[in-house]
Structure 1
Amino acid sequence: MLLKDQAAIVTGGASGLGAATARKLAAQGAKVAVCDLNAKLAETVAAEIKGVAVTCDVSDAASAEAAIAQATKAHGPARVLVNCAGIGVAKRVVGRDGPMALADFDKVIKVNLIGTFNMLRLAATEMSKLEPQATGERGVIINTASVAAYDGQIGQSAYSASKGGIVGMTLPIARELAQFGIRVLTIAPGLFLTPLLANLPQEAQDSLAAAIPFPRRLGNADEFAALALHMVENSYLNGEVVRLDGSLRMAPK
């Protein structure tokens, strides 16, 4: 996929992995829509990369439709979608106060799994109508899962289920959208120095880093963004989930 002057959408683009990806795509000449619930942060990132900020709740059909329409009005139909929006709630199935609230499980599934599919279905529909590039491609969609999809820890039942769902739908959707020349890929990051982890004491960060075989450190958001960019540019990558984790395999807790 040739990025220069092409429209791209990054959900969760106001911070962390999403912001780094938005910057990386913009640096290659893409016109990026920074989609996020945090309108102020989205506007900051968008101004930096000369993109457009779009307020969006990915778990809501109407909000996602409005966000796609706003991004399309600003830059034209997107050829690239990178889904980085997500949340994590650490709760045990059976806790001190009884069973985990169903609403807590439901919210994580809605944002992480349904939200990813929501944006994917809408963006793919627009991509399918575009003229193919010289490579035959009409678009590229990159989703964000997690190593928790494979070896989730105690307390991550909802998070692991949501990310496992993203892993599971990658290949069938890639197969379905192949007829349109749309590639679908997923990145499964390990422990990254996102704003959430950056707020932990240095001792806690060092402890997490010590569990990673090599390199023995937390991942940088730029490394995630670099892989996303490679996926966009490498037209033979399709239907694959790539772990980006320094060979980390998480312990039960």
Structure 2
Amino acid sequence: MKIANRTFLVSGGSSGLGEATVKDLLAQDGYVAILDRSPPSDELKSSPRVRYYAVDITQLQQIDDAVEKTAVWTKETGAALGGVINCAGVGVAAKIIDAKNEPHSLELWDFAIAVNLTGSFNLTRLALKHLVKVDPEQGPDGERGVVIFVASAAAFEGQPGQTAYAASKGALRSMTLPMARDLSRHGVRVITIAPGVFDSSMTANFAAKTRKNLETEGIIYPRRFGQPSEFARTIRWILDTPYVNGETIRLSGAGRLPGKL
């Protein structure tokens, strides 16, 4: 799918992997609606091809309002909706039974599911009612758009304390293929990326020992954390390649999360 003169909804687009994605889409002459609790940088906010909507991804009405405003914006610019990129997410950690033999917090479980899974589901389903009405691209495929979810290596090999997090990310992986099948008649593809360890605000808080263990034991090659620009280029490749559909793509340097750090 062509990126130029198309509009993409990017949740969590103000920082980290989402911000890198926004910048790359803009570099390809795309338009971006950023949905995030925090505002983007002044550089992004000042771009005429960016709209920012203050959205808590757990709040349905805020998501709906942002989607509807984006739909109006696409008519003003002539840059039709091209897809949804679900980068908003949260990392949580708690063992199913803690050191005091207390059970996992239900509140923490609900929070992880609400942000990582239900938030992505709601943004996608609300955007799709507009995306399926977009004129298909010229050519034999007649593509209308792309939905991208962001899972995690934890969807495959969650670590101790990641029951809720792994469940939320594994669910994204599991719904990729059936959603792609649902949307095939509309010319909309669905793909999930499962990143390994990337430089981000979350991993910036890792202890030096933990980081070293991951780099030397968990990652095969190259032995370093992934860079946000590499994630953004993967998004671009997905958008550019129509035959990529219904898949979960691991982006990990052949790394696998160990059973214990």
Q: What's the TM-score bracket when you normalise by the shorter of the two chains?
A: over 0.9
1:65-214 → structure 2 map (5 Å cutoff) = 65-76=64-75, 78-97=81-100, 98-135=102-139, 136-210=142-216, 211-214=218-221
SS in 2 for 1:99: coil
Aligned-residue CA RMSD (Å): 1.6
Q: Could you tell me whether the CA contact under 8 Å between 2:158 and 2:257 is conserved in 1? A: yes
Moved more, 28-37 or 193-202: 193-202
Distance 2:49 2:236 in 1: 18
Change (3 A) 1:49 1:229: farther
2:166 match: secondary structure = helix
Query: Deviation digits for residues 4-60 of structure 1, max 9, x if unmatched?
Result: 11111111001011000011111101111111011x336653335841111112222
Residues 74-109 of structure 1, C-alpha deviation per residue, up to 9 Å, x if partnerless? 234521211000001111110134111101011101
CA distance in 2: counterparts of 1:11 and 1:44, whole angstroms = 18
Note closer, same or farther for the CA distance 1:157–1:201 as it changes in structure 2 (3 Å cut): closer
- SS of 2:46's partner is helix
The residue number in structure 2 matching 1:239 is 246
Shift of 1:134: 1.1
SS in 1 for 2:161: coil
| Uncovered stretches (5+) of structure 2, i.e. residues with no partner | none
Alpha-carbon separation, structure 1, partners of 2:88 and 2:152: 12
TM-score of the two chains, using structure 2 as the length reference: 0.92
In structure 1, the residue matched to 2:31 is 31
Residue deviations 1:161-210, cap 9 Å, x none? 00000000000000000100000100000000012212445554333222
**Deviation readout 1:94-150 (Å, 9 max, x if unpaired):** 013411110101110111011111111011111111110114011111110011001
For the 8 Å contact 2:30–2:49, the answer to whether it is kept is: no
Alignment partners' CA distance in 1, 2:159 and 2:58:
25
Percentage of matched positions with identical amino acids: 38
Distance 2:130 2:4 in 1: 19
**What is the rounded CA distance, in whole Å, between the counterparts of 1:202 and 1:19 in structure 2?**
25
Q: Could you tell me which of 224, 235, 248 is aligned with 2:231?
A: 224
Secondary structure of the structure 1 residue equivalent to 2:191: strand
Counterpart of 1:116 in structure 2: which amino acid?
S
Deviation at 1:70, TM superposition (A): 2.0
Distance 1:160 1:69 in 2: 31
Task: Work out whether residues 56 and 63 of structure 1, in 8 Å CA contact, stay in contact via their aligned partners in 2.
Answer: yes
TM-score, normalising length: structure 1: 0.94
1:201 and 1:153, CA in 2 relative to 1: closer, same or farther beyond 3 A? Answer: closer
What corresponds to 2:46 in structure 1? 47
